[in-house]
Amino acid sequence: MRGMSNNPHGPRRQRLLETMAPGALILPSAPVAVRNNDVEHEYRQNSDLFYVSGFDEPESLAVLRPGADAPYCLFVRPRDPAREVWDGQRAGVDGAKTDYGADQAFSYADLATELPKLLEDQPRVYYQLGVDAALDRCVLDAIAKVRNRAKFGVVWPTEIVEPGTLLHTERLVKDAHELDRMRHAISISTEAHVAAMAAAQPGRFEYEVEAVINGVFRRRGSERSAYGAIVGSGPNATVLHYRRNDRKMKDGELLLIDAGCEYGYYASDITRTFPVNGRFSEPQRRIYEVVLNAQLASIEATRPGKTLADVHDASVRVITEGLVKLGLIEGPVDRAIKENLYRPFYMHKTSHYIGMDVHDVGPYFEGKQPRPLSEGVVITIEPGIYIAEDAEVPEEFRGIGVRIEDDVLVTSDGHEVLSAEVPKSVADVERACAA
């Protein structure tokens, strides 16, 4: 694990500058999303830009150039007292240097005139095309301007390289600073899930439980949810990305909660499923235990050298065995796996990377082969069984949806379940519901 630092951004830039092949790395800010008229959606910085800069204002852009006189250049919104009355203080051009360590800083309005100068004598540009058409135009125009000076001996960028090739393998492996933040985000989400188990009751609405969750997030200093919370009762638990959260919960139903907060730009992503009235019915418990055993098998399969395909296959086997045993699909198990008979009930993958983004960056494949897990990677493990209300199965199982999701760190010799404190066994869940 890499060293801990209070300000991790400078060392990250340094490492990038020391290891990247010559060129100019261009990292733009996230766009401002207008909600309606002059009201904007909450702003969140682009994760790549934040990772190297810690700068969270919109209309900004970083350029990193190894070996240049000014290797780290920031474009930012200039100070503007009239605007700052409305939106709060900006770092400004001077603050970009004094507070954020830029060697050189400009107003974002000067990007079109300054960028060509920064691309002179750079053999390549690391820039993600296809996200922002106006910025693509600006970068391509800047390259064309430098190319026009080739006859004067100026080197111009002849390659445009995906910046993820530099940044995303770095971001995939979490350093001590990142793990600290992830553990904190997970501890907040843990409290929220425990509070939700205590709060849910027949007759309450899903949004009342959502409010409990979001209340814990904000009360404990989380900036925001890492994604919109899913609070699905009864048949809503079988809708994978259910978001309305507006149904009245009934006695005898399950409630599936998939909710995680973000803390310091790091996500958590946790799912628990529990009985609204605090006691699993027999069919609910039987399905729940299949999912739980699948999840434990996938956790067991998580260690360096294994792949996410191995982790997924472990869940698929246990889920298929369970579905055959319960009479929901036909055996034998090996044939049922080969013919994907589990798919109508388990239609998603078991894991994704998690970090700054809930579905985090980082390569899933090396060429055509799944990439082996390595120390410092954090993944989710989230198998489920979802039985539609109209499924052709014994009636007692219809409308049952169960998912169990934890965040798991790959360690040098295995794994650590970072969200292990959230109740998960049938007994622990029932105890938390009764609290």
Inter-residue contact 209 to 192 (CB < 8 Å) = no
Catalytic-residue membership of 359: yes
Q: Least distance to ligand GLY from the beta carbon of 358, Å?
A: 6
Considering only 48, 114, 253, 258, the residue that binds Mn ion (CB under 5 A) is 258
Using CB under 6 A as the binding rule, the residues of this chain from 358 to 387 that contact ligand GLY are: 358, 382
Q: Which residue lies nearer to ligand GLY by CB, 243 or 335? A: 243
Say if CB 187 and CB 270 are below 8 A apart: no
Annotated catalytic residue 348 = yes
In angstroms, what is the minimal distance from the CB of 293 to ligand GLY?
Answer: 20
The site string for ligand GLY over 384-413 (x = CB under 6 A, - otherwise) reads ---------------------x--------
Query: Would you say 181 or 352 has its CB closer to ligand GLY?
Result: 352
Which 3-state string (H, E, C) describes the chain? Answer: CCCCCCCCHHHHHHHHHHHCCCCEEEEECCCCCEEECCEECCCCCCHHHHHHHCCCCCCCEEEECCCCCCCEEEEECCCCHHHHHHHCCCCHHHHHHHCCCCCEEEEHHHHHHHHHHHCCCCCEEECCCCCCHHHHHHHHHHHHHHHCCHHHCCCCCCEEECCHHHHHHHHHCCCHHHHHHHHHHHHHHHHHHHHHHHHCCCCCEHHHHHHHHHHHHHHCCCCEECCCCEEEEHHHHHCCCCCCCCCECCCCCEEEEEECEEECCEECCEEEEEECCCCCCHHHHHHHHHHHHHHHHHHHCCCCCCEHHHHHHHHHHHHHHHHHHCCCCCCCHHHHHHCCCCCCCCCCCCCCECCCCCCCCCCCEECCEECECCCCCEEEECCEEECCCCCCCCHHHCCCEEECEEEEEECCCCEEECCCCCCCCHHHHHHHHHC
**Which residue spans within 276-346 are E strands per DSSP?**
none
The active-site residue, picked from 170, 175, 405, 406, is 405
User: By C-beta, is 100 or 227 nearer to ligand GLY?
Assistant: 227
| Nearer Cβ to ligand GLY (41/243) | 243
Tell me if residue 230 falls in helix, strand or coil.
Answer: strand
For residues 177 and 352, which CB has a smaller minimum distance to ligand GLY in the complex?
352
The single residue of 41, 137, 241, 343 carrying the catalytic annotation is 241
Q: How far is the CB of 188 from Mn ion (least distance, A)?
A: 15
Is residue 57 part of the annotated active site? The answer reads no
Q: How far is the CB of 414 from Mn ion (least distance, A)?
A: 21
258 belongs to the binding site for ligand GLY (CB under 6 A): yes
Q: Of residues 170, 269, 360, 406, which one binds ligand GLY by CB under 6 A?
A: 269
Using the minimum distance from each CB to ligand GLY, give the nearer residue, 227 or 345: 227
Q: Minimum CB separation from ligand GLY for residue 258, in Å?
A: 5
Query: Does residue 210 bind ligand GLY (CB under 6 A)?
Result: no
Which range in 21-29, 176-184, 254-262, 297-305 contacts Mn ion by CB under 5 A?
A: 254-262
Whether 405 is a known active-site residue: answer: yes
| Residue among 269, 321, 357, 407 that touches Mn ion (CB under 5 A) | 269
User: Under rule CB under 5 A, which residues in 365-424 are in contact with Mn ion?
Assistant: 380, 405
Residues 6+ apart with CB under 8 A from 10: 101
382 has catalytic annotation = yes
Minimum distance between the CB of residue 79 and Mn ion, rounded to whole angstroms? 41
227 binds ligand GLY (CB under 6 A): yes
Q: Which is nearer to ligand GLY, 262 or 405 (CB)?
A: 405
Active site residues: 38, 241, 258, 269, 348, 352, 359, 382, 386, 403, 405
Give me the residues that bind ligand GLY (CB under 6 A), please.
Answer: 227, 258, 269, 352, 358, 382, 405
